[in-house]
């Protein structure tokens, strides 16, 4: 049990490092724009390159996790991440930076499904929600701290944050090689889909399809909300950069704490499907309220609660998928990552088009999308199969 706690801690550290590296680039982008003489459009494509790579590679990585093992995919992902960060730090040409971001997306596609599957293997139905809640908190914390650390390290040089992240990724890969052993596969669900089915057929299975659609819907809503928040409050309320930083960071911190403190309890009370429904409902209402509130305090409150809704959704749907996946943990992890990436690409693009028409339109559209997600959960409850009570022989981490 103690060793499982150590392994879980190291897995969470790996995720934290990966998503820390994503956030590091944010505070130095203006400086890079000046150094390389690039415009905002190029920066947008540079950001999208990560998500495109993750989108394309995630399905293949999910299959590889099931075929070749969890540990090797995590280690490869961390080494690729470390190399991509070093490459970004050394790159003087925009083409090199694009290659770096693409490799970063590949590393995330390797790490995410492998860690999700690993956690499913070392937990049981009772302890898994808490572990996956910690997983989402590690991801959120990486996003939160990344820009702050990047801004601090940039004082020593524009490229310093990337060398720092590259070193951390390499160290994490070495620690994983030394201290982590390949887990025994979880066998809690005896009604797995035959592995011989192709990826598209499995995606369309009712037990998977609705969950994947909800991942896309929630991720789309979050991407549309976050991508234009700074522009929205700047145009509408004349927020300063410090105001924006306080609201975004505060909301992300509150969301991370909600994952750790509330997720396990709410899952036991409502179950994953109801928690997903309520999270989408709360998020949809609050995203709409962003278009009608006026005071600084009300914007702060709305943003904080929006992050709680989104941050409770992610571990809830991940837990549901892990519980029904059986021996296809890598597959569902890869699909989770793929649909998230697809939303992270389409959300900002559609939101940008709508923003140019009216600054409120991206939030109206996100509200409609999230409302469709709530309706989908009502249909999902009728189709969802009960989760097997067979706990297998998996040793709980706590």
DSSP result, 73-92: HHHHHHHHHHHHHHHHHH--
- Give the whole-angstrom CA distance, residue 383 versus residue 214: 14
Tell me what the mean pLDDT of segment 89-107 comes to: 90
Between these two residues, 215 and 259, which has the higher pLDDT value? 215
Q: Which of 124, 123, 136 is nearest to 218 (CA)?
A: 136
% of residues, the chain, pLDDT over 70 = 81
Report pLDDT for 148: 65
What does each C-alpha distance from 246 to 12, 296, 309 come to in angstroms?
A: 25, 11, 19
Percent of the chain predicted with pLDDT > 90: 13
Rounded CA separation 43/33 (Å): 8
Helical H segments across the chain, by residue range: 2-24, 29-36, 40-68, 70-90, 94-122, 128-153, 160-179, 199-203, 206-227, 229-237, 241-270, 272-289, 296-325, 329-357, 361-383
Mean pLDDT value across the chain: 78
Give the pLDDT mean for 68-76.
Answer: 92
Q: What is the pLDDT of residue 200?
A: 62
The arithmetic mean of pLDDT across residues 169-182, rounded, is: 88
Domain 196-385 has CATH 1.20.1250.20: yes
pLDDT at res. 110: 92
- Compute the distance between CA of residue 23 and CA of residue 2 in angstroms, rounded to an integer: 32
Whose CA is closest to 31, among 121, 81, 97? 97
Q: What is the pLDDT of residue 341?
A: 74
Please compute Rg for the chain using Cα positions.
Answer: 20
The region of weakest confidence among 4-13, 73-82, 154-163, 241-250 is: 241-250
- Span(s) in the chain for CATH 1.20.1250.20: 1-182, 196-385
Residue 390's pLDDT band (cuts 50, 70, 90): very low
Q: 299: pLDDT confidence band, cut at 50, 70 and 90?
A: confident
Distance in angstroms (rounded) separating the CA atoms of residues 56 and 109: 9
User: Is the CATH number of domain 1-182 1.20.1250.20?
Assistant: yes
Considering only CA atoms, which of 361, 50, 362 is closest in space to residue 225?
362
SS3 388: coil
pLDDT at residue 302 is higher than 50: yes
- Residue 154 or 377, more confident: 377
Shortest CA distance to 329 belongs to which of 342, 319, 341? 319
Mean pLDDT within 249-257 = 76
């Amino acid at each position: 049990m103690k060793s499982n706690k150590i392994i879980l801690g190291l897995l969470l550290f790996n995720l934290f490092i990966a998503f820390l590296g994503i956030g590091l680039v944010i505070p130095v982008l203006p400086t890079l724009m000046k150094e390389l003489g690039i415009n905002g459009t190029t920066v947008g494509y540079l950001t999208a390159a990560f998500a495109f790579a993750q989108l394309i590679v995630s399905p293949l990585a999910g299959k590889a996790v099931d075929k070749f093992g969890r540990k090797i995919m995590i280690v490869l992902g961390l080494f690729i991440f470390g190399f991509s960060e070093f490459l970004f730090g050394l790159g003087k040409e925009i083409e090199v930076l694009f290659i770096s971001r693409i490799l970063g997306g590949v590393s995330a596609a390797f790490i995410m499904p492998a860690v999700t599957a690993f956690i499913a293997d070392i937990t049981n139905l009772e302890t898994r929600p808490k572990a996956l809640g910690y997983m989402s908190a590690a991801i959120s914390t990486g996003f939160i701290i990344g820009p702050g650390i990047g801004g601090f390290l940039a004082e020593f040089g524009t490229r310093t944050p990337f060398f720092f992240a590259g070193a951390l990724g390499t160290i994490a890969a070495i620690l994983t090689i030394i201290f982590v052993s390949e887990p025994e596969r979880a066998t809690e669900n005896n009604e797995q889909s035959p592995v011989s089915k192709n990826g598209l057929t499995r995606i369309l299975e009712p037990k998977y399809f609705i969950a994947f659609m909800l991942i896309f819907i929630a991720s789309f809503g979050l991407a549309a909300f976050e991508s234009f928040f700074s522009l929205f409050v700047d145009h509408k309320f004349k927020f300063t950069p410090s105001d924006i930083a306080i609201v975004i960071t505060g909301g992300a911190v509150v969301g991370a704490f909600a994952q750790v403190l509330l997720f396990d309890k709410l899952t036991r009370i409502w179950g994953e499907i109801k928690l997903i429904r309520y999270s989408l409902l709360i998020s949809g209402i609050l995203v709409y309220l962003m278009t009608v509130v006026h005071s600084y305090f009300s914007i702060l409150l709305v943003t904080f609660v929006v992050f709680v809704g989104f941050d409770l959704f992610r571990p809830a749907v991940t837990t549901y998928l892990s519980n029904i996946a059986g021996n296809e943990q890598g597959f569902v992890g890869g699909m989770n990552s793929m649909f998230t990436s697809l939303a992270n690409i389409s959300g900002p693009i559609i939101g940008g088009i709508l923003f140019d028409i009216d600054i409120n339109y991206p939030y109206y559209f996100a509200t409609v999308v999230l409302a469709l997600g709530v309706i989908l959960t009502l249909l999902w409850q009728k189709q969802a199969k009960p989760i097997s009570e067979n706990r297998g022989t998996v040793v709980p981490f706590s």
